[in-house]
Structure formats: structure tokens, C-alpha cells
Amino acid sequence: MLPYLHIWHLHVPTFGLMLWLAAVTGGFVMDRCFRRERIEADAVGMVAVAVVMGIVGAKLWHVLDTPSEFREIGWRVLWDSAGFAWYGGLVFGISALIFQGWRARIGGLRMLDLAAPAAAVGYGIGRIGCFLSGDGCYGIATTLPFPWGMSFPNGIEPTPLGVRVLPTPLYELAGGLLIGWWLWRRLGKPHTTGAILGQYLVLTGLARFLVEFIRRNPKVLWGLSNAQLASAGTVVAGIALLWWVAKRAATGSAGAGKVAGKVA
């Protein structure tokens, strides 16, 4: 793999490069969403703030999730190029978007609807960085030939010599792009506020839950990993939100069905 790009005397980490590309792509997608809904706000700036907060949250969640690493290398874990927990980024990123949506008078829930396609696409592109850097986000060992089975001998966390593993970051790339495409289409059609976010939570939680079965993460409870437990909670939250949104729409609550002038 290619953990670093060597350009003259510069050593550019591919993970950071793909993280930047994910942020740029997410900003572009969200800007398109704003334009389609005729919203006069700085979508790119909002994405930038959410990305920074997401990185902070991803690092903090990683430290809490793997305290042994913190005990081993101390506070250096906070600025190490590896070790980001997606759910920490999700929580902090969502919080930042809600606050910005409130400040821009878009509304927190509607803001998250608008950001959902960008979040899905950005997550998928970010996984390319995991793949290129070989940061350990591999699947389980396999005897399948290339490209279904790959070796990462030069990764940040190299695989044993001659051992092939499932390239799960590529599966997550495909899943993120597919989910983003679906949410983009749904966002362009009449829907109740919160419905797009609910679908995002269900779909992305389910995708992560399933891919964890073939990843190397340790099991902590009922044969499930930490990420799977968090994914199950995400799916439940998404289902609950969809139920609440449908109930509000059915009872005709004031403003419940309005999204950029559209009524479900």
C-alpha cells in the first residue's frame, strides 16, 4: 500500500490527503443540497467546522475505546496519524451541524437532513485513506485471490508476510457512495423533516454492523464489537426517528411536513 506520498522532501500521509478530499467532496455535495433547496448559507464553511469537530470527536472516542493504546504512548495518541473512531466523529459532527443550523435559522433537524448525503459520501471517500495507508482497518484473513483478498506488508500496521485479508475499507467505500446516492435522491423529493436523517442512521448503522462481522475488531459483548453495539444503537435511533416523523406527519403537527416549501 501507500501510507505516504514522497514529493521531494515532503512526506504526505495518504490518510490525511483522503480525509481532506472527503471534506472537500462533502462540502460540494452539501452545497448542491443547499442550492437545490434555495438556502442562502455557507455550506462549505459549515462542513469545515463539522469536519474539525468530527476529527476531535473521533480521536477522543478512539482513546476511550482503546485505553491500552493511551497507556502505552500517552497523550501522543491524540495527534497520531492513525486511530480515529467513526462514531466519535459522528457525535461531534452532528452536534456541530445542529448548532450551525440553529444559528443560520435553518433548523437543527433540517440541517441534518441536508447534510446526510454529504456525510455518507464523505465517509466512503475517507475509507480510501484507511485502505491506502494500511492503518489496520482490515478484514479477517482469507484465502481468496486478489482483489478479494489483499496483503498490506507496507501499511502503518502491516499484515503478516504472505497473509491476505479482506479489504473492508473498499466495501465501506462502496456502501457509503450507494447510501449517499440514495439519500440525495430522497432529499430531492417531498419528505417530512427528519426522514432523511432517519434513513441515514438506519442505512449507515446497518452497513457498519454487517461489515464488522468480517473485520478484526475484538468482540466485547454478546459476540459483538464496540462498533457493532454502537451501530445497533444507531439503527434503533433511526427507526425511532422515522416513527416519530411519520407520527407527526399523520397528526398534522404544525410545520412537521415542511421541507424547503415542500409538504409530504
Q: What is the pLDDT of residues 100-150, one digit of tens each?
A: 999 989 999 999 999 999 999 999 998 998 888 888 788 899 988 888 889
Query: What is the per-residue pLDDT for 255?
Result: 47
Q: How do strand 262-263 and strand 219-221 relate by DSSP bridges? A: unpaired
| Residues, the chain | 264
Of all residues in the chain, what percent carry a pLDDT higher than 70?
A: 84
**Cβ distance 26 to 51 under 8 Å?**
yes
Please give the Cα distance from 28 to 121 (Å, whole number).
11
Q: How many C-beta atoms surround the C-beta of residue 146 within 10 A? A: 9
For the segment 172-179, the average pLDDT, to the nearest whole number, is: 96
Between 147 and 74, residue with greater pLDDT: 147
Q: What is the DSSP letter of 79?
A: T
- At 51, the pLDDT band (50, 70, 90 cuts) reads confident
**Cβ distance 235 to 205 under 8 Å?**
yes
For the segment 177-183, the average pLDDT, to the nearest whole number, is: 97
Instruction: Read off the C-alpha cell for 241.
Output: 426517528
**Cβ distance 210 to 217 under 8 Å?**
no
Q: Rounded mean pLDDT of the chain? A: 84
Dihedral sign for Cα 46, 50, 51, 52, please. positive
Between 58 and 211, residue with greater pLDDT: 211
214 has a pLDDT exceeding 50: yes
154 has a pLDDT exceeding 70: yes
User: What does the pLDDT look like over 8-20, one tens digit per residue?
Assistant: 878 878 888 888 8
Q: How do strand 4-7 and strand 262-263 relate by DSSP bridges? A: unpaired
Please give the Cα distance from 12 to 148 (Å, whole number).
28
53 has a pLDDT exceeding 90: no
Between 11 and 165, residue with greater pLDDT: 165
Range of the domain at 157: 4-263
Please give the Cα distance from 246 to 264 (Å, whole number).
10
Number of domains in the chain: 1
Phi, psi of 153 (to 5 degrees): -65, -25
